[in-house]
Structure 1
Amino acid sequence: MAGSTSNATGTWAIAGFLAALALNAAPLMAQPATGDACRLLADRGPVWRAATPLARDEVRLTFVGHATFLIESPQGITIETDYNDYVRSGRVPVIATMNKAHSTHFSFSPDPAITHVLRGWSDIPDTPAFHNLAIGDVRLRNVSTNIRTFRGTEISGNSIFIFEVAGLCIAHLGHLHHPLEPEQIQAIGRVDILLVPVDGSWTLDLPGMVDVVRHLSPTILIPMHYFNPWTLKRFVEQVRDEWQVEERAAPELIVSRTRLPQKPRLIILPGR
């Protein structure tokens, strides 16, 4: 895999094979802010289909499954989050972001037609990845987090990615393993839409993740990375007094800043 260390491939493969094993919690290392605020899955075929054009103040999010979303901007810039070899949208994105806690969050062989493949880790040990990309009507940046591994804590092994599209700030928490420090929250900045893993075991435990959500205080909260309806329900019950719950029949959501809900809302999108 391009951009990986030579001795890491075997470890990642083992991590993917043993992904069901829970690991121990670890603290994070924050990356300084760089800008203004702002079921193990088999491939069942593409979910993307020809979509209606977006207005210049709209963004489309499609939940592909697991931790993967397809984000589309008004100018047609597409982003696929936690791009991997198991769950893909069926579309070649302009930008692919990846994390490496497990093999369901990165690809050994990303499509060569992808313009920007952004890894949430650095080749240099204990050094955060740094991304601050502006392309078309999209700005993207990251905040590094630590991960748990079979050998202990890997400093800055993953990233939270923040996407600024159509005046909205969308944060994808990736494979978050630990609570956020105040400087981390400050670096993330304003969050309008939060994509949050809610499994409560492979990622941060449920009380810790709920605390992260409350600190970031998004207007729209979209759960991901859960493996059965009971896991999802457990998270929903913890936050439903603060986020009004809405369940959608279709996996896509079109949002604009002017049409954000008056009250915070948790939106459940179906995914594979």
Structure 2
Amino acid sequence: MAVDRPPLYDPADPRTGRQRHPGGVVDISWLGHACIRLRTLQTSVVMDPCDRSSGFDMGRPNADVVTVSHPDPAHAFVRGVRGEPFMIDGPGEYEIKGVQLTGIATYLTPPAEGRAPQRNTAYLLEAEELRLVHLGGLGAPLTAGQSELLANIDILVLPIGGDGALTPEQAARTVRALEPAVVIPVHFPWPKGPRDDGPLKQFITNMGVEPEPAAARLSIQRRALTEMLRLVLLEPRG
């Protein structure tokens, strides 16, 4: 599916006026459930660390930064991360070791009459000239305002299926709203026995995009992005 995206190589950074460089390599691994690890040469970030209640064992990853979308242990197992990471667990703007992070308030469950919505924090991460959004445990469609704050991104980590995640139809609409160059599905069930990947299969059908063969990790640079949407399947490490 072609997407209408801004030029991949802007002549200058509008914030500083300086020429942009192509950026270094970013490695992304799926550790299970909604947990990913992102690594640059200088920094390691673990997002939504999961305990074994999620059905996955993420191991004991090392990190400089940990982000938490909401307090469920399947998304907030910070003590399972080695090192002395800086923890971010809510909206705000942060810069740690060359990585910029912006937390944006979204919903874990949608607002309903007589019931307060549960909160979820989505994170916009900027590193090596790449912009990545991790939607955490997003379980309700983004509002127009939230979509605007999360737009102009390169990589989308997208929770699909299971409790506390988007339906395949909602996930497809979210991709069309945010127009990333790369989509990495997470959160869908991956049991030890036969995979229950029904939500993932339905999402792929809705998108009409052929996914890439599953791989252990994604290594990517900004200059490798194209105008065509890439659907990247990662094998869980845990």
CA deviation vs aligned residue, 1:155-202 (integer Å, no higher than 9, x gap): 5x2100111011000101111121111211111131101010111653
2:61 equivalent to 1:91? yes
Change beyond 3 A, Cα 1:90–1:163:
same
2:30 equivalent to 1:63? yes
How many Å apart are 1:270 and its aligned residue? 1.1
Aligned residue in 2 for 1:259: 224
One-letter identity of the residue aligned with 2:38 = I
- Mind listing any 5+ residue stretches in structure 2 that lack a counterpart? 1-14, 16-21, 190-195
2:217 equivalent to 1:247? no
How many Å apart are 1:224 and its aligned residue? 0.6
CA deviation vs aligned residue, 1:57-109 (integer Å, no higher than 9, x gap): 1100011111111100132x101110133343522211111123632111274
How many angstroms apart in 2 are the aligned matches of 1:206 and 1:81?
A: 22
1:154 to 114, 117, 127: 117
Aligned residue in 1 for 2:98: 137
Aligned residue in 2 for 1:42: none
How many Å apart are 1:232 and its aligned residue? 1.5
Q: What SS is found at the alignment partner of 1:263?
A: coil
Q: Single out whichever of 96-105 and 229-238 deviates more from structure 2.
A: 96-105
Q: What SS is found at the alignment partner of 2:218?
A: strand
Aligned residue in 2 for 1:229: 197
Change beyond 3 A, Cα 1:146–1:214:
same
Q: What SS is found at the alignment partner of 2:117?
A: strand
Q: Single out whichever of 205-214 and 140-149 deviates more from structure 2.
A: 140-149
How many angstroms apart in 1 are the aligned matches of 2:126 and 2:50?
A: 23
Change beyond 3 A, Cα 1:57–1:113:
closer
The correspondence of residues 16-165 of structure 1 with structure 2, limited to 5 A, is 57-75=24-42, 77-86=43-52, 87-100=57-70, 102-107=72-77, 109=79, 111=81, 113-119=83-89, 129-148=90-109, 152-154=115-117, 157-165=119-127
Q: What SS is found at the alignment partner of 1:132?
A: strand
Q: What SS is found at the alignment partner of 1:246?
A: coil
One-letter identity of the residue aligned with 1:185 = S
Q: Alignment RMSD, CA only?
A: 2.5
How many Å apart are 1:148 and its aligned residue? 3.0
How many Å apart are 1:235 and its aligned residue? 1.2
TM-score by length of 2: 0.77
